[in-house]
């Protein structure tokens, strides 16, 4: 078999066999196939797509590229969550501690920032000394002890996804249904959780721009999960503006802390509750949505969820003083206020462009080996539907590079679309996909 022929076959729009998919995945992981050939194949997949069969085979191949983790020794129904990637998506840092505090084991292998979106691992690593590279033993022991672990794909789990994910990030081949579905589901299936919730983002800041596409992606992932005998459901949620107010690593850690203390932004809190309720139901901890919501709200009011975040940080070697006193987290040298030139209502805040601005300030990677500026990012002072006066602050830029910040300042004024009248209500969740049905809200 030759990689050249596999690239050519996909370039010409034909279906790859299981053997061809296994061949490229295996040999890319063991270093026999160079990045440039895989980049070309990814671009061919991007344009010509993969069939459902190819997508399942790619997922299998990626799972088989490394080890799998058996969670059967951990009592209870273990749950996992994954987002398809958004801007300011601080959910995992809130949802994980919330459900763990309710007694449900939350096991999660997360990713780093991809394209214009942020990654949970980068956010966690903005806390001093926090380790996301846990051994399988540490990972299991933490879940046993405190009901939660969030780690990276080390311990040789889906090494194929790890390599392909980084390559997609820098070759503009992220937003393809099969590549996203196989990437997410291989990670979820390599870890033996019993139930999986997928937060499929749709809108300007998501890889899927239309609800139809998000539904297709959801169905594909639910199909893959179900074929492996895992209870898998997907919520389709709004990513037309960034989630919450903070975008950027330490800024989002602070936002998560605030939310766990009950003082978070409404949309972030509400989505955490919606996802959490579904997880408690999947884990058979509660019998109704209402009961689930009450349990989660109690975990916030009693500080149990906040204390769970502290335990998580502690067990992964992080500095808990930075959680107890977020002022100790790294801070940017400059904070610039972005003022409105117009009066009116915020009609939209293009989340992808906001994500790109955060990237420009240093909050994400431009190349495979770029270093992240953890303190850089954006705090939105206005969200969609808010009233704005001339010269009122739209956002605060947190930056260490003043020149870049000035450029971003101008761009942000343009990204906030300010109009005459209020837009219709903002939906947080559009729908639900389970193995049997699709519900639209």
Query: Does residue 244 touch Ca ion according to CB under 5 A?
Result: yes
- Where does this chain touch Ca ion (CB under 5 A) — which range of 29-37, 87-95, 277-285, 368-376? 87-95
- Residue tagged active-site, from 81, 82, 116, 360: 82
Cβ at position 174, least distance to ligand URA in Å: 6
Residue 246 lies near Ca ion (rule: CB under 5 A)? yes
Q: How far is the CB of 153 from ligand URA (least distance, A)?
A: 9
Q: Which does 84 bind (CB under 5 to 8 A by kind): Ca ion, ligand URA, none?
A: ligand URA
Helix, strand and coil percent figures for the chain, each rounded to 5: 45, 15, 35
Nearer to ligand URA, 126 or 173 (CB): 173
Q: Is 216 a catalytic residue?
A: no
**Binding-site partner at residue 111 among Ca ion, ligand URA, none, CB < 5 to 8 Å by type:** ligand URA
Is 90 a binding residue for Ca ion by CB under 5 A? The answer is: yes
Question: How far is 100 from 41, CA to CA, in rounded Å?
Answer: 40
Measured from the CB atom, the residue of 142 and 183 that comes closer to ligand URA is: 183
Q: Which of 116, 168, 278, 360 is catalytic?
A: 168
Residue 246's binding partner among Ca ion, ligand URA, none (Cβ under 5 to 8 angstroms by kind) is: Ca ion
Interface ranges with ligand URA (CB under 6 A): 84-85, 111, 114, 165, 179-180, 183-184
Catalytic residue status for 341: no
Token code pair at residue 138: 């540490």
Distance CA 115, CA 190 (A): 24
Partner from ligand URA, Ca ion, none binding residue 244, C-beta < 5-8 Å depending on class: Ca ion
Partner from ligand URA, Ca ion, none contacting 90, C-beta within 5 to 8 A by type: Ca ion
The catalytic position among 108, 116, 123, 187 is 187
Tell me whether residue 82 is one of the annotated catalytic residues: yes
Measured from the CB of residue 360, what is the shortest distance to Ca ion in angstroms?
Answer: 18
Cβ-based nearer residue to Ca ion, 84 or 90: 90
117 lines the binding site for Ca ion (CB under 5 A):
no
* 75 noted as active-site residue: no
Secondary structure class of 440 (helix, strand, coil): strand
How many beta carbons lie within 10 A of that of residue 321, not counting itself? 13
Could you tell which of Ca ion, ligand URA, none binds residue 180, using a CB distance below 5 to 8 A set by kind?
ligand URA
- Considering the complex, what minimum distance in angstroms separates the CB of residue 42 from ligand URA? 11
At 414, phi and psi to the nearest 5?
A: -80, -30
Q: Measured between alpha carbons, how far is 199 from 233 in angstroms, rounded to an integer?
A: 9
Buried b (16+ CB within 10 A) or exposed e, 346-364: bebbbbbbbbbbbbbbbbb
Establish whether 161 is a catalytic residue: yes
Judged by CB, which is closer to ligand URA: 190, or 280?
A: 190
* Contact by Cβ (8 Å): 65, 159: yes
Interacting partner of 114 out of Ca ion, ligand URA, none (Cβ under 5 to 8 A depending on kind): ligand URA
Render 298-323 in DSSP notation, one character per residue.
HHHHTSHHHHHHHHHHHHTT--THHH
**Which residue reads 């979106």 in tokens?**
117
Q: DSSP characters for 215-281?
A: HHHHHHHHHHHHHTT-EEEEEEEE-SS-SSSEESHHHHHHHHHHHHTT-S-HHHHHHHHHHHHHHHH
What does the alpha-carbon distance between residue 30 and residue 103 come to, in Å, rounded to a whole number? 40
Q: And the tokens for 267?
A: 């949309």
- Two tokens, residue 161: 């996804």
Catalytic residue among 80, 161, 199, 350: 161
Binding site for Ca ion (CB under 5 A): 88, 90, 243-244, 246
As annotated, the active-site residues are 82, 161, 168, 183, 187
């Amino acid at each position: 078999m030759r990689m050249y022929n596999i690239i050519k076959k996909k370039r010409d729009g034909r279906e790859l066999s299981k053997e061809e998919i296994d061949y490229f995945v295996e040999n890319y992981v063991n270093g026999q196939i160079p990045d440039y050939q895989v980049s070309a194949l990814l671009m061919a997949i991007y344009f010509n797509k993969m069939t459902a069969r190819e997508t399942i085979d790619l997922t299998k191949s990626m799972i088989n590229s490394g080890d799998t983790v058996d969670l059967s020794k951990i009592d209870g129904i273990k749950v996992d969550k994954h987002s398809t990637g958004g801007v300011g998506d601080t959910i995992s840092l809130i949802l994980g501690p919330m459900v763990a505090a309710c007694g449900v084991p939350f096991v999660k292998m997360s990713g780093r920032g991809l394209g214009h979106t942020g990654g949970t691992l980068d956010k966690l690593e903005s806390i001093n000394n926090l380790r996301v590279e846990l051994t399988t033993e540490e990972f299991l022991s933490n879940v046993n002890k405190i009901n939660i672990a969030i780690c990276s794909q080390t311990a040789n789990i889906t090494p194929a996804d790890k390599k392909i994910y980084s390559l997609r990030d820098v070759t503009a081949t992220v937003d393809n249904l099969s590549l996203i579905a196989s990437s997410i589901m291989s990670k979820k299936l390599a870890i033996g959780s019993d139930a999986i919730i997928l937060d499929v983002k749709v809108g300007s800041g998501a890889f899927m721009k239309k609800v139809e596409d998000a539904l297709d992606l959801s169905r594909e992932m639910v199909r893959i999960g179900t074929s492996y005998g895992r209870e898998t459901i997907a919520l389709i949620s709004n990513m037309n503006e960034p989630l919450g107010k903070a975008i950027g690593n330490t800024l989002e850690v602070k936002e998560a802390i605030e939310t766990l203390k009950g003082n978070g932004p409404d949309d972030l809190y509400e989505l955490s509750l919606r996802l959490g309720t579904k997880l408690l139901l999947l884990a058979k901890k509660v019998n109704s949505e209402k009961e689930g919501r009450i349990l989660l709200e109690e975990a916030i009011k009693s500080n149990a969820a906040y204390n769970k975040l502290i335990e998580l940080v502690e067990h992964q070697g992080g500095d808990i003083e930075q959680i107890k006193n977020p002022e100790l987290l790294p801070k940017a040298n400059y904070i610039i206020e972005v003022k409105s030139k117009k009066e009116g209502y915020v009609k939209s805040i293009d989340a992808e462009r906001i994500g790109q601005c955060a990237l420009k300030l240093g909050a994400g990677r431009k190349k495979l080996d770029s270093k992240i500026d953890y303190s850089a990012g954006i705090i939105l002072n206005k969200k969609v539907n808010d009233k704005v006066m001339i010269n009122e602050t739209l956002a605060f830029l947190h930056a260490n590079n003043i020149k870049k910040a000035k450029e971003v300042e101008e761009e942000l004024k343009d990204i906030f679309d300010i109009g005459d009248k209020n837009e219709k209500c903002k939906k947080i969740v559009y729908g639900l996909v389970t193995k049997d049905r699709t519900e639209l809200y």
